[in-house]
Amino acid sequence: MSRIGNNPITIPEGVVVDIQSDVITVKGKLGELSQPYDSVSFTHEDSTLKVSRPSEAKPHKAKHGLYRALVNNMVEGVSKGFTKELELVGVGYRASNQGQKLDLALGFSHNIVFEIPSEVKVEIISEKGKNPIVKLSSHDKQLLGAVTAKIRSFRKPEPYKGKGIKFVGEQIRRKAGKSA
């Protein structure tokens, strides 16, 4: 029994859901997202959306919860949006942006210039005496996660000193160094 798939999706004011035979489209104040689907059916009543599956087969049960979660993220994204913050921990680690180009100085011999997709908004917060923070926001949760993972992959946090790019609030498992 899919517990997530059985929960109804509440649709807030200003969000329009359009259901075709194999694509669901969600429009809101922050943008428009669409998702192809199969093996499930959607029913739209008042301000709720319900997902149902045709049988109790394992693939249908799996897709039931999957598509409910994807559509819920789409509804939340076009109404509120998502934000993720990355913190650059390390001496001399800096970040700056010109439009959609993110320029990172991460201790390599060269700066890394990363082109950010137009759907993602980038903001750099750098205060004196604190680590720089890269704040990314978007209405597409999947794209936002992929962009933050790519930026983090340039210099992952290492376990000895904790230097690298980490999510704000993330706990790094630290190791003891050599004991002589």
- Sites in the chain below the pLDDT cut of 50: 1
Q: What's the CA gap between 141 and 147, in Å, rounded?
A: 10
Distances (CA, A) of 48 to 71, 130, 139, 151: 12, 44, 20, 36
Give phi and psi for 118, each to the nearest 5: -70, -20
Q: What angle do CA 111, 115, 117 make, to 5 degrees?
A: 155
pTM for the complete prediction?
0.90
User: Of 136, 127, 129, 128, which is closest to residue 165 (Cα–Cα)?
Assistant: 136
Structural fold of domain 82-167? Outer Surface Protein A; domain 3 (3.90.930)
Q: How confident is the model at residue 1, as a pLDDT?
A: 47
Q: What's the CA gap between 4 and 171, in Å, rounded?
A: 28
Q: Are 75 and 102 in contact (CB under 8 A)?
A: no
Domains 3-79 and 82-167 agree in fold: yes
Q: How confident is the model at residue 2, as a pLDDT?
A: 58
- Pick 3-79's CATH classification: 3.40.50.460, 3.30.70.600, 3.90.930.12, 3.90.580.10: 3.90.930.12
pLDDT in tens, 5-56: 899 999 999 999 999 989 999 999 999 999 999 989 999 998 999 999 999 9
Q: Are 6 and 50 in contact (CB under 8 A)?
A: no
Q: How confident is the model at residue 94, as a pLDDT?
A: 94
